[in-house]
Structure 1
Amino acid sequence: MTEQNHWQLIPAQDFCCPSPPAVTRLRQGWLRLLRLLRLHAAEAEPEQEEADLPDYQAYDRRPAVAALDERLGSWRQEAQAGACFLLDPPYSGTAAIARDWADLHGWRTLTPPNTTSLERADVEQWWRGQRGSGPWLIDDLARYLLRTVEGMDFVCALLPRLLQGELGQGLVVCDSWMFAFVGRAWPLRLPRVYCFAPVGPGLLRQLGVRASDKVLCRLAARARGNPGLALALWTVERQAKQELPELPSEADDVTAFVLYTLLLHRGLGVALLQRVLPVVSPDLLNVQLLRLEQCGIVLREEERWRVSIHGYLVVRDFLTERDFWPDGF
């Protein structure tokens, strides 16, 4: 660990996405034009050796676990029944940090309901099937609902029980896009909602990025304060053979619904994706997924489709321009 730990857990309402200066916004537009023309801008910043580039999935999470423990330590020790919520922007690594923290303190990780239990909204049966006892972790709330009429019933039955402490003490990790959706679909505000503070030059250096303050501030703004995304972007910038993907020219409203659904659920298999988007024919859905995969916008992992880390920013812009409800990160 470094002498100063730049990881910090803050109330979610205090999160402020880093704003790029005007020159950075102009540069981003210029780089986008160059990418469309398949040209490259000359970089004035010395390149970091490829062997030394930090991995967005393999950085040292112990300082982040320490920051989480510092913020939630009193609440954990008091063993208060009820839940805290931890927001997890895509590819931020927050869920992995929470799992490390839970393992450190001997908390069990709950198993998500299967599709049948989800649609029956039988929280009692699901709870009886959990192994062990004591404090618990839900490491991905997106696995507890589907954006269908029946698929929302389980989480609507679960959340009141979590807030009232009926299931004991627990930490709930919620994807930031899912949190924005639940905030609109559910009538109550969730208490004790936290997130990690946006990444800045100090944390980027702690994660292994070597550059000037100017470059690091620009990187933090481009990544919207997301540490995992910042590391992935940094690697792309340092590797001349790799570029960020662009959406296909055929991208349309159906593309937008497919991408929003994948972000909302943090990835889905084709069968569940079809259930959430019944108006999209199976053939058209397959064409959309394969086209997006060819462009590098989505990827397939163990039969689940999800938005790729390198395609995330362009997808976020695409959905925002089409008035989809984005996360706050």
Structure 2
Amino acid sequence: MDNHKGPARFDRSEPAGDTGQEVSVWRFAPLGDYRPPSPPVSSAASRTWASLTRLFGGSGDKAQSPAVDRDQLIVLAPEQLKRLSPSPDWAAAAQVLDHALGDWWRQDDPEQPVRFLVGPPYSGQAEMVRHWGAAHGAAVVTEPSGEQILAADADWLDHWPEAAPLWVLPHLEWCFLRHADGLSLVRQLLDRAQSGCLGRGLIGCDSWAWAFLEHVWPVRRPDAFSVQAVDGARLARLLATLATPRAGERIRFRNARSGDDLLAAPFAEEDPVRSEIAQLAAHCRGIAGLAASLWRRRLCAAPEGGEAADAATAGDNPTEVVYVAENIPEVRPAAHCGEEDVLLLHALLLHNGLAEPLLADLLPLPASRTAAGLRRLQQAGLAERHDGRWQVAAPAYVPVRDLLASRDYLCDAF
């Protein structure tokens, strides 16, 4: 018997990968099968790739057009960036997620009443869960407040949407706090969810919180899977298909220093994958949203009437040339961070962002020192505030992760 009431909006008439170029970017795999891509063997960054400047510093090959002096590069307007490099289409990813889940959500008595989708920061797992839930008419469960978590307020669980045959909880990482009083509620949630008491549901969780919760609730979870890492080929496809060319034109993304073409849109299967794109995928540990964010921050244009702009418009085929710059300052957390700052960064990652008042409750620091630490991290480009929560900034994520791992902090498995 199918207890689902809402109409599913995903089209399963064709297998995933045939429904569009961006759809074919996404993969899902059992939790332990996440494999970050390796840099190209021939790359100068094969041993370490901590420098984005090195990545876009040029390959040494013969340039295809004049390079642009970094001082002449023009910052693109927000509307241009939105056209050239918007955020990934998480709805397309959710369509592939639907194929991965199959008919689990329709079964009367499934072996696994809940499923978990785990992903590292900037991988979009929460957005995928939301889109999947919207397509199936699922109730969206809002995470408890910090006060409810610290008070172990069971009213949050008692008001679970029992009338809904299907529910989604996008942010499990926001349902606990690393505090003596902040774990009872999430333990109750996991116990009820996995026992089937809460009905059928899909739960999203950040990978750092998952690593911590494996110690809080050490129960084997065959019901968990992850967003698989993208390699250079799939990242090239994603970046190209995100871009929207102007009518009748083609977009070429060009290395601002060397003049080499890195990527073209519309995407063509026969186009070779440049080593810079493969290196970007490897640096970002295969996290598609992170790679797209770092790519977007480097897009710029040459001044009109300049030599590079003239070369870009020459030829029979109308082409819009977008330059990929190297002039973004590198983020070096080791140069800025004392032990208090490292504690702050680790807390932000374990909870996928925290409001400032809660940080003061979780850390062995006075509130004034916590506030000062956040400002230092912000000035250093290591943290930023988004929707009321402080989080590790995208350009800083990989260097911060490396720093925490070098100091033996608990890290995720991604």
TM-score (norm 2): 0.71
Deviation for aligned residue 1:4: 7.1
Separation in 1, partners of 2:23, 2:372: 49
Match of 2:106 in 1: 77
Deviation for aligned residue 1:116: 3.2
Q: Which of 406, 409, 412 is 1:321 aligned to?
A: 406
1:290-310 CA distances to partner (integer Å, 9 max, x unpaired)?
A: 111011110112432111111
Moved more, 221-230 or 208-217: 208-217
1:294 and 2:351 aligned:
no
CA RMSD between the two structures? 2.6
Amino acid at match of 1:252: G
Separation in 2, partners of 1:3, 1:273: 38
Separation in 2, partners of 1:302, 1:197: 27
Match of 1:256 in 2: 342
1:87/1:3 CA distance change after superposition, 3 Å: closer
Separation in 2, partners of 1:27, 1:193: 31
1:41 and 2:57 aligned:
yes
1:86/1:4 CA distance change after superposition, 3 Å: closer
Q: Is the 8 A contact 1:248 1:291 kept in 2?
A: no
Q: Is the partner of 2:234 in helix, strand or coil? A: helix
Separation in 2, partners of 1:248, 1:286: 20
Consecutive unaligned residues in structure 2, runs of 5 or more? 1-19, 68-73, 241-261, 264-271, 299-323
Separation in 2, partners of 1:266, 1:61: 18
Separation in 2, partners of 1:187, 1:25: 36
1:300/1:225 CA distance change after superposition, 3 Å: same
1:183-198 aligned within 5 A: 183-198=214-229
1:231 and 2:292 aligned:
yes
Deviation for aligned residue 1:18: 1.4
1:244/1:158 CA distance change after superposition, 3 Å: same
Q: Is the 8 A contact 2:207 2:413 kept in 1?
A: yes
Amino acid at match of 2:333: L
1:155-194 aligned within 5 A: 155-194=186-225
Q: Is the 8 A contact 1:180 1:327 kept in 2?
A: yes
Match of 1:243 in 2: 329
Percent identity of paired positions between Structure 1 and Structure 2: 31
Q: Is the 8 A contact 1:121 1:157 kept in 2?
A: no
Separation in 2, partners of 1:87, 1:206: 23
1:114-143 CA distances to partner (integer Å, 9 max, x unpaired)?
A: 2333233243x2134345522111100111
Match of 2:254 in 1: none
Q: Is the 8 A contact 1:18 1:225 kept in 2?
A: yes
Separation in 2, partners of 1:191, 1:248: 38
Match of 2:173 in 1: 142
Deviation for aligned residue 1:280: 1.0
Consecutive unaligned residues in structure 1, runs of 5 or more? none
Q: Which of 17, 33, 42 is 2:36 aligned to?
A: 17
Deviation for aligned residue 1:43: 5.3
1:110/1:254 CA distance change after superposition, 3 Å: same
Separation in 2, partners of 1:185, 1:100: 29
1:226-248 CA distances to partner (integer Å, 9 max, x unpaired)?
A: 00111122234523443342227
TM-score (norm 1): 0.88
Match of 2:91 in 1: 62
Separation in 2, partners of 1:284, 1:85: 36
Q: Is the 8 A contact 2:232 2:279 kept in 1?
A: no
Separation in 2, partners of 1:240, 1:21: 20
Match of 1:221 in 2: 282
Aligned residue pairs total: 318
Deviation for aligned residue 1:3: 8.7
Separation in 2, partners of 1:140, 1:245: 28
1:92 and 2:145 aligned:
no
Amino acid at match of 2:33: D
Q: Which has the larger radius of gyration?
A: 2
1:191/1:121 CA distance change after superposition, 3 Å: farther
1:105/1:244 CA distance change after superposition, 3 Å: farther
1:303 and 2:334 aligned:
no
Amino acid at match of 2:217: W
1:158-209 CA distances to partner (integer Å, 9 max, x unpaired)?
A: 1111111100000110100000111123232223111121102342233224
Q: Is the 8 A contact 1:87 1:174 kept in 2?
A: yes
Separation in 2, partners of 1:94, 1:24: 29
Separation in 2, partners of 1:250, 1:128: 45
Q: Is the 8 A contact 1:236 1:244 kept in 2?
A: no
1:282 and 2:377 aligned:
no
Q: Which of 115, 120, 137 is 2:151 aligned to?
A: 120
1:104 and 2:104 aligned:
no
Separation in 1, partners of 2:213, 2:387: 27
Deviation for aligned residue 1:41: 3.2
Q: Is the partner of 1:249 in helix, strand or coil? A: helix
Q: Is the partner of 2:182 in helix, strand or coil? A: helix
